Amino acid sequence: MRSALIAGLLLALSACTTVPPEDMLARNATPATRTESNGDVITEYRNGGRLVMVKVVPLRGPTYYIYDRNGDGVVDERDNRGGPMTYYKLFSW
């Protein structure tokens, strides 16, 4: 009984781990990094010349990612509400 409880706990904890978004890209995605005048570091990932993902590491604040989810080479917008769909990386370990 105790070993089943420990195994269940370990399984639950492993489900909480996340893969970095950069690792989910295709192997041939090429990054291009630049630093803006305000200190933000922007990395664009392209696959075959098409934009796949943008990673923004602001000088202050959490890292966030903007994706092209439908593969057209343009970052996606939020259901006609304007602005890109933004995903924040709040926790990591």
Burial class (CB within 10 angstroms; exposed 0-12, middle 13-18, buried 19+) of 21 = middle
pTM, entire model = 0.66
Query: In this structure, is residue 7 part of a structural domain?
Result: no
CATH code at position 27: 2.20.130
Query: In this structure, is residue 71 part of a structural domain?
Result: yes
Query: In this structure, is residue 93 part of a structural domain?
Result: no
Amino acid 53: pLDDT: 86
Query: In this structure, is residue 83 part of a structural domain?
Result: yes
Q: What is the pLDDT of residues 37-83, one digit of tens each?
A: 999 999 998 888 888 888 899 998 888 888 877 777 777 666 665 56
> Cα separation of 54 and 52, whole Å?
7
Give the three-state DSSP class for 12.
helix
> Cα separation of 87 and 31, whole Å?
18
Query: In this structure, is residue 40 part of a structural domain?
Result: yes
Query: In this structure, is residue 11 part of a structural domain?
Result: no
Beta bridge partners of 55: 43, 65
Q: What angle do CA 42, 48, 64 make, to 5 degrees?
A: 25
Q: Which of 5-9, 19-23, 47-51, 87-91 has the lowest mean pLDDT?
A: 5-9
Query: In this structure, is residue 10 part of a structural domain?
Result: no
Structural domain harbouring 77: 19-88
Total tally of structural domains belonging to the chain: 1
Query: In this structure, is residue 2 part of a structural domain?
Result: no
